[in-house]
Chain A
Amino acid sequence: DQQVKQNSPSLSVQEGRISILNCDYTNSMFDYFLWYKKYPAEGPTFLISISSIKDKNEDGRFTVFLNKSAKHLSLHIVPSQPGDSAVYFCAANFGNEKLTFGTGTRLTIIP
């Protein structure tokens, strides 16, 4: 049973436009959410996180939105740059539980 779902395996966006990556979760206990970015041949790197007490967290070009009622979060990247092309993983957990990861979305920024 996949508790964290990224239903879009891939996404292509024009450079300069907004990239929106989506993530849905089923476990209502989750209270902490993270996004990781992974380049080929490298491990995932932490990008941004959000606690369930917030509905938005912004860091430069990256903003994460959390909709608890819909059990949905999204990562917005604006403006998108070629270096943003990577696989993005959503992860979630609560309390002392381990992180549960989604399957990832491959983002391609078209110059």
Chain B
Amino acid sequence: ETGVTQTPRHLVMGMTNKKSLKCEQHLGHNAMYWYKQSAKKPLELMFVYNFKEQTENNSVPSRFSPECPNSSHLFLHLHTLQPEDSALYLCASSQDLGGAFTDTQYFGPGTRLTVL
């Protein structure tokens, strides 16, 4: 496979469940990102990893826990979510952060999450 892949594509979970979203990039990039896309809101950056190190946590609640075991894989662990967390979660990667967040980011297809 090429590009950025995300699994699952759709996820329905209860508020007490624990689930994980997975992202994998096959582009040899060093930086990976989690974004949240809620209806009628701008794309919101959640986390950034560069060379497996977290460089940005955009005031995300602790019920979202990222993990980056290597430069190709990124996880988002979900626990005790709220219905308002229902959204499209997008993963992206870029060559690296460089001097700015201007490196072209390549996005995965997203996971559509519904919290009941």
Contacts and interface: CB of A to CB of B under 8 A. Distances in A.
Chain A interface helix/strand/loop/mixed: loop
Given A43-B92, A43-B107, A98-B58, A4 B42 contact: yes
Nearest to B41: A103
Nearest to B108: A43
Q: How large is the interface on B (under 10, 10 to 19, 20 to 34, 35 or more residues)?
A: 20 to 34
A34 B94 CA distance: 14
Interface string B32-56: 0000000011111100100000001
Interface in A52-87: none
Interface stretch (B11-19, B60-68, B69-77, B95-103): B95-103
B104 A46 contact: yes
Interface in A83-111: 89, 91, 93-104
Q: How large is the interface on A (under 10, 10 to 19, 20 to 34, 35 or more residues)?
A: 20 to 34
Interface of B: 4, 6, 9, 40-45, 48, 56, 58, 90-92, 97, 99-102, 104-110
Closest 10 CB pairs of A and B: A43-B107, A101-B43, A101-B42, A46-B104, A44-B107, A43-B108, A98-B45, A98-B101, A32-B102, A42-B109
